[in-house]
Structure 1
Amino acid sequence: MQISLLNLADDEGFPLLNSFWVMMWWFLWVLWFMLLFRVIGDIFRDDGLGGWGKAGWTAFVIVLPFLGIFVYLIARGRGMGERALARAQEQERSFRSYVRETAGPTSRAEELARLAGLKNDGDLTADEYERAKAKVLDS
């Protein structure tokens, strides 16, 4: 059965089986491109792979795409997941650190501890400390 995307709406109608085949081929086509971009992205994001290794894998994936993708998945597939997990964990740590730094202390006790630390380091005078402490306790 030959599927032609240009001749889908012929005079005989559009049979259910033909529509199934068209949807399946579209799905596989989109899946293939997603896999191709995922592999190429992994090649360039891998810090452990040198420049020649990146160039070699990229050339292999571009020149022989089906074989290149399958060989890459067999050879480095497990590492893809581990590298993606490590990147996600690092992004989560960065985000949490940024939120903690930006939001500042969340409770009165933490704010008072921060003020006491500033006073002990000599960054605040006793008078400034007392005013800031009163302000925290009033809020």
Structure 2
Amino acid sequence: MELAYDYPLLSTFWTMLWFFLWIMWFVLLFRIIGDIFRDDTLSGWGKTGWMIFVLVLPFLGVFVYVIARGRSMGHREISHARAQQAELDSYIRKTAGDGGPRTSTDELARLADLRAGGQITDEEFRRAKDLVLSETRTPVSAGASTASESR
């Protein structure tokens, strides 16, 4: 139990502070390395130079990079996040079925499912099927107005 008396509370605080500072520095180092590779405006030699500087003189390299390119680093991070969000939104729209116009085959399959589930009668199915098939024979502008009236 003597160990608790040899390591007072203030020493524990300083140890934890240094530990978290090291973690923060490593997080910053890895974000900078990722930013170096993400930056399309840097040439291959520029990326190599920054990587050597950041890896050979880590503390100085990280601090100089943040001072020299910190603002553009934030802009690149935001544009990368927006591009990822746009890709995710596009994927969700595509998989949810809102990615484009429905074909007559899609509409007929949906109507058949509704009839099989008992949500529409055979007469309603026949009328809707005739409507879908007549839309495929008419021009797009006339078909769009007919489709909006039927819904």
Q: Determine if the TM-score, normalized by the shorter chain, exceeds 0.5.
A: yes
Name 1:71's counterpart in structure 2: 64
1:38 to 2:31 alignment: yes
Name 1:51's counterpart in structure 2: 44
Q: Alpha carbon RMSD of aligned pairs, Å?
A: 3.1
Give the 5 Å matches for 1:120-135: 129-130=132-133
Name 2:22's counterpart in structure 1: 29
Ranges in structure 2 where 5+ consecutive residues have no aligned partner: 105-128, 135-145
Q: Secondary structure at the match of 1:28?
A: helix
Q: Secondary structure at the match of 2:6?
A: coil
**Which of structures 1 and 2 has the bigger CA Rg?**
2
TM-score normalised to structure 2 length: 0.65
**Structure 1 residues 61-92: Cα deviation after superposition (integer angstroms, max 9, x where no partner):** 01111111111111100011000000000111
Ranges in structure 1 where 5+ consecutive residues have no aligned partner: 1-8, 120-125
Name 1:123's counterpart in structure 2: none
1:62 to 2:62 alignment: no
Tell me the amino acid that sits aligned with residue 61 of structure 1.
V
- The match for 2:76 among 83, 90, 94 is 83
Moved over 3 A (4+): 9-13
> In structure 2, what is the Cα distance between the partners aligned to 1:73 and 1:99?
36
**Structure 1 residues 9-67: Cα deviation after superposition (integer angstroms, max 9, x where no partner):** 84743211010011011011111111111111110111111110000000000111111
Tell me the amino acid that sits aligned with residue 27 of structure 1.
F
Indicate the percent of aligned positions where both proteins have the same amino acid.
Answer: 53
> In structure 2, what is the Cα distance between the partners aligned to 1:105 and 1:130?
21
1:99 to 2:102 alignment: no
> In structure 2, what is the Cα distance between the partners aligned to 1:105 and 1:55?
44
